[in-house]
Amino acid sequence: MARVAVEDTLTDVKELLQQNGHDVVTLEGDNAAGCDCCCISGQDQNVMGMSEATSDASIINCDGMTAQEVLDEVNERVQRK
């Protein structure tokens, strides 16, 4: 399964990913290093117009998505790797 960094506010996403066997870490600091995907809420995405990549992980903006849709997206992206 995948190693996935998830923003702290996305508890339903974290729980569903863990229930489906994914290794889930909180997205903070350099936790994204070594992850296959990063799940973000989209709430503060690039607020200041700056972006700085700290990982090669695939980014999933979960804004407007259900936890099941996020799980499906993670599974799809991991299969493509």
What is the reported pLDDT for 39?
94
Query: Which residue's entry shows tokens 């503060």?
Result: 44
* CATH code reported for the domain at 3-80: 3.40.50
> If we measure between CA atoms, which residue out of 16, 19, 79, 13 comes closest to residue 40?
13
Q: How far is CA 16 from CA 23, 33, 72, in A?
A: 11, 22, 11
Region 45-70 average pLDDT: 74
What is the reported pLDDT for 35?
93
Q: Is the pLDDT of residue 51 over 70?
A: no
The string of pLDDT tens digits covering residues 2-25 is 999 999 999 999 999 999 999 999
Residue 39 and residue 4 in contact, taking contact as beta carbons nearer than 8 Å: yes
The string of pLDDT tens digits covering residues 40-49 is 998 765 543 4
> If we measure between CA atoms, which residue out of 70, 1, 77, 81 comes closest to residue 39?
70
